[in-house]
Amino acid sequence: MTVREFAPAKINLSLHVTGRRADGYHLLDSLVAFCSVGDWILAGKAPEMRLAVAGPRAEGVPLGPENLVLRAAGLMAGAPAALTLEKHLPAAAGIGGGSSDAAATLRALSRLHDAPLPAPEAVLGLGADVPVCLAGRGCRMGGIGERIAPLEAPLPPLGVVLVNPGIDVPTPAVFKALAVRDNAPMPEALPPLRAFDPVVAFLAAQRNDLEAPARAIAPAIGEVLAAIAATKGCGLARMSGSGATCFGLYETEAAAASAAEALRGRSGWWVAAGRILP
Ligand X SMILES: C[C@@](CO)(OP(=O)(O)O)[C@H](O)COP(=O)(O)OP(=O)(O)OC[C@H]1O[C@@H](n2ccc(N)nc2=O)[C@H](O)[C@@H]1O
Beta carbon nearer to ligand X, 41 or 169? 169
The residue annotated as part of the active site, out of 10, 29, 87, 101, is 10
Beta carbon nearer to ligand X, 221 or 255? 221
Beta bridge partners of 35: 276
Beta carbon nearer to ligand ADP, 85 or 276? 85
Which one, of 91, 70, 94, 92, lies nearest residue 80 by Cα?
A: 70
Residue 64 marked in a binding site: no
Burial class (CB in 10 A: 0-12, 13-18, 19+), 88: middle
C-alpha to C-alpha distance for 32 and 22, rounded to whole angstroms: 25
C-alpha to C-alpha distance for 5 and 22, rounded to whole angstroms: 37
The 72-101 contact track toward ligand ADP, x by CB under 6 A, reads -------------x-----xxxxxxxxx-x
State which amino acid sits at residue 124: L
Choosing among ligand X, ligand ADP, none, which partner's interface includes residue 25 (Cβ < 5 to 8 Å by kind)?
ligand X
Choosing among ligand ADP, ligand X, none, which partner's interface includes residue 48 (Cβ < 5 to 8 Å by kind)?
none
Least gap, CB of 127 to ligand X (angstroms) = 3
Beta bridge partners of 247: 162, 238
Report the DSSP pairing between strands 26-45 and 139-142: antiparallel
The catalytic residue positions are 10, 129
Q: Which residues bind ligand ADP (CB under 6 A)?
A: 61-62, 66-69, 85, 91-99, 101, 171, 241-242
